[in-house]
Amino acid sequence: MKNDYKRILTVQDISCVGQCSLTVALPILSACGVETAVLPSAVLSTHTAGFTGFTCRDLTSDMPAIIDHWKKEGIQFDAVYTGYLGSAEQIAYVKRIFAELLKEGGVRIVDPAMADNGKLYPAFDLAFADEMKKLTSDADVVLPNITEACFLTGTEYKERYDEEYVNGLIAKLHEAGAGKVVLTGVSYDDETTGVAVFENGETKYYRHEKMPKGCHGTGDVFASAFAGMYARGMSAYDAAKIAADYTLHCIKYTSGDESHWYGVKFEPLLSDLTDLVK
């Protein structure tokens, strides 16, 4: 994509408190210098990791009317970036957006947010994973973690693996239809982690420090920073490197504040992304 003013649509839920999904995606994409439109798939009072008694309103029934209105108004997007989708029906609406509202040459970026640590999230089953396969096979860029890549490719999940295993996952995703693959959370030892990026027929690995404790929402931070930089015209590898560095920076900035257990303090560091754009 050319390095000029772009409009990106992100489709995912919004947790009103909790620094994840749309409350992360909107400011980070905007900081990358990209006009950001949103299509909330659901509204939650908080995210679901650690909070109890949260509220949730599913917005699936609102999505077709919104799409119809955009189509009537002639609104189109240079890129579409999806995060957490709550149902197979929502996946079908995203596919309609790809077909009807994406500009010619526009980019489809799919974060198949559905699993981690060898298991699907509680809200999902294998039937949902099968539907997600249809979306990722239609994507220009797919951003799975190791667990998600296993469900998408029918590969046995392993906690310990080597480069051959990672390359196999990437090859299967590409063969299924994904254009470029950004495989996150790739760790070959206990001290480091990184991102394996397949584009232009080759895979590059970016290794960085691994923090001893993870934080909720960091996958959304990474995916949003990646999508913003990629929409600006960067290669997938360069966008992934910046997104990984920014995410690590956010984790370190938050580390030690036990009261901030529900996410990372990414907002004070948004200027880092803006400076890169400038």
Task: Give the tens place of pLDDT for each residue, 18-56.
Answer: 999 999 999 999 999 999 999 999 999 999 888 899 999
Residue 89's pLDDT is 97
pLDDT over 60 at 3, yes or no? no
Q: What is the pLDDT of residues 234-258, one digit of tens each?
A: 999 999 999 999 999 999 999 988 8
CB burial of 113-151 (b: ≥16 within 10 Å; e: otherwise) equals: bbbeeeebeeebeeebbebbbebbbbbbbbbbbbbbbbb
What span, in angstroms and rounded, lies between the C-alpha atoms of 62 and 90? 10
Give the CATH number of the domain where residue 169 resides: 3.40.1190.20
Residue 2's pLDDT is 47
In a domain, 183, yes or no: yes
In a domain, 273, yes or no: no
What are the tokens at 61?
A: 């029934």
- What does the angle CA 194 – CA 242 – CA 1 come to, to the nearest 5 degrees? 115
The more confident residue out of 211 and 90 is: 90
Sheet containing 77-82: give its strands across: 56-58, 35-46, 7-17, 77-82, 102-110, 141-142, 180-183, 192-199, 202-209
What span, in angstroms and rounded, lies between the C-alpha atoms of 93 and 40? 12
In a domain, 255, yes or no: yes
Residue 50's pLDDT is 86
Q: What is the mean pLDDT of residues 98-122?
A: 96
Cα 262 to chain centroid, rounded: 18
What span, in angstroms and rounded, lies between the C-alpha atoms of 129 and 118? 13
Number of structural domains the chain divides into:
1
In a domain, 270, yes or no: no
Q: What are phi and psi of 226, to 5 degrees?
A: -60, -50
Q: Which helix or strand (DSSP H or E) is residue 78 part of?
A: strand 77-82
What span, in angstroms and rounded, lies between the C-alpha atoms of 3 and 229? 10
Q: What is the mean pLDDT of residues 168-196?
A: 96
Residue 231's pLDDT is 95
Q: What are phi and psi of 149, to 5 degrees?
A: -60, -35
In a domain, 231, yes or no: yes
Domain of residue 81: give its range.
Answer: 7-262
Closest CA to 244 of 265, 231, 229: 229
**Whole-structure pTM value:** 0.95
- The whole-chain average pLDDT of the chain stands at 94
In a domain, 86, yes or no: yes
Task: Give how far Cα 184 sits from Cα of 159, 194, 216, 260, Å.
Answer: 14, 7, 15, 24
What span, in angstroms and rounded, lies between the C-alpha atoms of 203 and 141? 14
pLDDT over 90 at 215, yes or no? no
pLDDT over 70 at 222, yes or no? yes
In a domain, 274, yes or no: no
Q: Is the dihedral of CA 41, 48, 129, 103 positive or negative?
A: positive
Residue 179's pLDDT is 96
In a domain, 24, yes or no: yes
- Is there a contact between 215 and 224 (Cβ–Cβ < 8 Å)? no
Longest alpha-carbon distance in the chain: 52
